[in-house]
């Protein structure tokens, strides 16, 4: 009886380990199946005394989420960078603007309180996932 009990524990433990390993792999595989489109700005963008450095990147995902990764600064203190991200089709026609994640606002804002510092700007947005295949271009509206 003792030998049977230890065999059952070993089988249950092995099954739990197998399930524990399988679940994260499945979740990771599902996340990896999202298609992406990346738009990178290769030069400085300025508005007033505010600047976004080259390399600013919007990444769009097929599930309708978007992510901004940029570095911004201002020559003045107590500034704010305001930005609107426009999604466009292959002919340049406007499809929609990216919305701030969890909001209906399309205005992204980054406060720049200190003129002697650069700030990393990570922002999350959302758009209608049905537009993903149509998006071929992006443009930015900006104000400082």
The pTM is what?
0.76
What's the per-residue H, E or C state across 107-130? CEEEEECCCCCEEEEEEEEECCHH
Answer yes or no: CATH 2.60.40 is held by domain 36-143.
yes
pLDDT in tens, the chain (144 residues): 544 444 433 333 344 333 333 333 334 455 568 999 999 999 999 999 999 999 999 999 999 999 999 999 999 888 999 999 999 999 999 999 999 999 999 999 999 999 889 999 999 999 999 999 999 999 999 999
| Domain regions of the chain by residue span | 1-33, 36-143
């Amino acid at each position: 009886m003792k030998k049977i009990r230890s065999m059952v524990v070993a089988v249950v433990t092995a099954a739990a380990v197998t399930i524990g390993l399988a679940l994260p792999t499945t979740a990771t595989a599902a996340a990896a199946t999202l298609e992406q489109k990346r738009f990178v700005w290769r030069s400085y963008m300025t508005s007033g005394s505010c600047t976004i450095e080259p390399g600013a990147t919007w990444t769009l995902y097929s599930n309708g989420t978007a992510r901004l990764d940029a570095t911004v600064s201002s020559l003045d203190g107590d500034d704010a960078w305001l930005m609107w991200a426009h999604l466009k089709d292959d002919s340049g026609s406007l499809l929609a603007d990216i919305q701030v994640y969890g909001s209906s606002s399309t205005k992204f804002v980054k406060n720049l309180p200190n003129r002697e510092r650069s700030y990393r700007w990570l922002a999350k947005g959302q758009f209608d996932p049905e537009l993903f295949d149509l998006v071929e271009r992006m443009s930015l509206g900006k104000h400082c």
